[in-house]
Structure 1
Amino acid sequence: MSPTEQQRRPHRWEQLSPTDSQAGRILADLRRGLGREAGDVPEMWVYYTTLNKEGYRTAALKAEHAALSLFGLHQQSQRIPMHKSGVGLGEAALNLYLAANANQAAIDGRMNMIATSTDTTELVGHLRGLVTLLRERAQPLDYTRLFLDLRYWDNPQDRATIRRHWGGQYMDWHKRNPRAEASAHNNA
């Protein structure tokens, strides 16, 4: 079987149940990675799927480290899974924006800082603030998609595509303007 045909090992965020008896310890291990370099936190080694024997800090390892650490922060004290396949970063931020009593200007500002980040380190710093807001509202996020986006963020062409994807999700006209959508259907 070729490497492309082999099943990849699932990421921790895809496996962890909030009711797992070890969840608290695992999440604490993952949060230890916040603000630290990929591969430098021995408690996290067991959770990596991209760690290599040569010790190189690859783009994949950096992205996985960031996603694991952010997931550890997001899942903390939550009774439902905060990883939800299909909920991209822009959609999660939009759901936060549309929530009752949301500080929409602050969320717009956070998304602007995220979108204008020029490297992964800056991006992860801004994502940490957004993830804290997502946790407060128990708003899930697709961490597998985030991992892939982080993996390619430092490439300017990929960054532009990822930025447009997030922007398209965040500015979803149909969700932001449901009355206008209903009016358009009634006038058709």
Structure 2
Amino acid sequence: MTQPSVPPSGGPLWKSVARTVDKLQRDYLNNPYGRDGSDARAALAELRKASAFEPADNPMGLQKIIGLLNPPLNEDFMGRGEKPSASEVALYRSLSLFGVHMQSAKKPMHTSDVSFAQACGQLMPRTDSKSFKHRFDALQLATDDASRAVHLRSLVSLLRSYELAFDYGRFSEDLRALVNPNRKPGVLLRWGRDFARGARQLYDAQPPEDLDTTTNTN
């Protein structure tokens, strides 16, 4: 039985997203044949469907995602005009990708212990390192939110295949910060460090003779 993640120490968006996905995965994994599990499966299916659309082009999907949040999104983060706010786009991206991540999952895909980039780093030694590093680099170099979303879906699908979890609350905060030119460099710097840290963890945990020395960790 999965246990609740440690409550996050971030801001309102972080907490709202983290607690929402934490409950969804507990209901999905712990009570698959009960009412809560059925509701969670339906919600995750809706989230997966939303991941194929842009938030501005999917107002019904955005409405459903906002409605899923528990606790609700703080009014200060809600949009006021005819376009989604940066916070609404970030929660849409993070929750819809969580739906992709949880497809057929047998274990939690949200954890408060590992960041998104760190999980990507942990994956690199397990797969084709050159190909995967190129994918992560393409994400880092993405110049707009829509192209970044394409790379994120590809990476999250790979993380799902290898059952590697990360903190969706922290992830949502990062996605919101990436659209701010003043904050973007700091997020990308931290992602680069976390990626390198995650890639080293597997190597540090194994004796040298157990490692594939042909794997490129650069």
Q: Answer whether TM exceeds 0.5 for this pair.
A: yes
Q: By how many angstroms is 1:166 displaced?
A: 0.8
- Alpha-carbon distance in 1 for matches of 2:146, 2:166: 20
One-letter amino acid matched to 2:42? R
Q: 2:23 aligns to what?
A: 15
- Alpha-carbon distance in 2 for matches of 1:88, 1:143: 8
Consecutive unaligned residues in structure 1, runs of 5 or more: 1-5, 183-188
TM-score, reference length from structure 1:
0.81
Match of 2:181 among 147, 156, 159: 156
Q: By how many angstroms is 1:121 displaced?
A: 1.8
Match of 2:163 among 138, 141, 160: 138
List per-residue Cα deviations over 1:25-63 (Å, max 9, x = no partner). 110111121132336124434224447484651000000
- Alpha-carbon distance in 1 for matches of 2:108, 2:202: 25
Q: 2:47 aligns to what?
A: 30
Cα distance 1:145–1:45, how it changes in 2: closer, same or farther (>3 A)? closer
Consecutive unaligned residues in structure 2, runs of 5 or more: 1-10, 30-36, 209-218
One-letter amino acid matched to 1:109? H
Same amino acid, percent of matched pairs: 27
One-letter amino acid matched to 2:23? Q
- Alpha-carbon distance in 2 for matches of 1:27, 1:149: 22
Where 2:166 maps in the other structure, the secondary structure is coil
On the 8 A contact 1:119/1:153 being kept in 2, the answer is: no
Q: By how many angstroms is 1:7 displaced?
A: 7.2
TM-score, reference length from structure 2:
0.70
Aligned residues: 174
List per-residue Cα deviations over 1:118-157 (Å, max 9, x = no partner). 1222211110000000000110011111100001101223
1:109-188 pair list within 5 angstroms: 109-172=134-197, 174-175=200-201, 178=204
Where 2:182 maps in the other structure, the secondary structure is helix
Q: By how many angstroms is 1:21 displaced?
A: 3.2
Q: Which moved more, 1:9-18 or 1:21-30?
A: 9-18
Cα distance 1:112–1:53, how it changes in 2: closer, same or farther (>3 A)? closer
- Alpha-carbon distance in 2 for matches of 1:22, 1:109: 38
Match of 2:107 among 68, 80, 105: 80
Cα RMSD of the aligned pairs, angstroms, is 2.6
- Alpha-carbon distance in 1 for matches of 2:203, 2:163: 23
Q: Which moved more, 1:84-93 or 1:138-147?
A: 84-93
